[in-house]
């Protein structure tokens, strides 16, 4: 089973994992000044720093002094992203990651703006989880509308991820943890929409 898991990822998946790990190291898990280069800042994006639309997906933070955030996101990316890459190729996966990443990052930023009326310059979010939810939604909807799509989901994965999605809103409401729920939700929705859209276009 472990061998199958390790063999699942192609070079693009491995590259995305490697970038996430390196960014976590050089930013000390989002705690030093280097972190500022990867954050989502709408004013700077409008000034031309468009990399910020994507780079928050590579930021991961410590949970209780442990790299749990990074480890779990990389496991899901390796599994889901690797499966898509094996089926459709590295550039197909990269396209999904970029579209979903931008959608989920923008959702998280503007959700904060809608709730607070402004976004503090110190507001930092990040992680690959919005993308992971998007890949999950993509596979689920693509298989639903395209019976020839060969990437499968384990029956328990969708239930587990939906439970965690709901739990995230609960934890945020209690103030116990800060979780990027908007990124998770919009990541899931945008990935699902891409799954439906690509199932209707034979070239994809």
Phi/psi-derived region of residue 127, left when phi > 0, alpha when psi is between -120 and 50, beta in every other case: left
Q: Please identify which of the residues 24, 29, 184, 190 carries the catalytic annotation.
A: 184
Neighbours of 112 (CB within 10 A): 18
Q: Determine whether 33 is an active site residue.
A: no
Q: Please identify which of the residues 129, 173, 190, 199 carries the catalytic annotation.
A: 129
Q: Determine whether 184 is an active site residue.
A: yes
**Alpha helices by DSSP H, the chain:** 2-7, 11-26, 42-46, 68-76, 82-88, 90-116, 129-145, 155-174, 181-200
Nearest to 73 by CA among 159, 154, 138, 135: 135
Question: Active-site positions?
Answer: 129, 184
């Amino acid at each position: 089973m472990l061998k199958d898991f390790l063999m699942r990822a192609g070079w693009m998946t491995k590259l995305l994992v490697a970038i996430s790990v390196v960014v976590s190291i050089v930013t000390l898990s989002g705690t030093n000044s280097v972190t500022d280069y990867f954050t989502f800042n709408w004013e700077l994006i409008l000034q031309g720093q468009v990399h910020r639309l994507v780079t928050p997906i590579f930021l991961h933070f410590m949970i209780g002094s442990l790299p749990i955030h990074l480890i779990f996101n990389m496991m899901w990316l390796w599994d889901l992203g690797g499966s898509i890459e094996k089926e459709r190729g590295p550039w197909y996966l990269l396209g999904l990651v970029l579209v979903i990443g931008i959608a989920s990052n923008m959702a998280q930023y503007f959700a904060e703006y809608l709730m607070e009326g402004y976004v503090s310059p110190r507001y930092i979010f990040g992680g690959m989880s919005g993308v992971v939810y998007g890949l999950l939604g993509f596979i689920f909807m693509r298989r639903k509308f395209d019976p020839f799509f060969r990437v499968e989901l384990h029956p328990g994965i969708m239930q587990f991820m939906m439970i965690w999605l709901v739990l995230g809103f609960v934890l945020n409401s209690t103030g116990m943890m800060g979780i990027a729920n908007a990124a998770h939700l919009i990541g899931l929705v945008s990935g699902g929409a891409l799954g439906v859209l690509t199932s209707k276009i034979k070239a994809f």
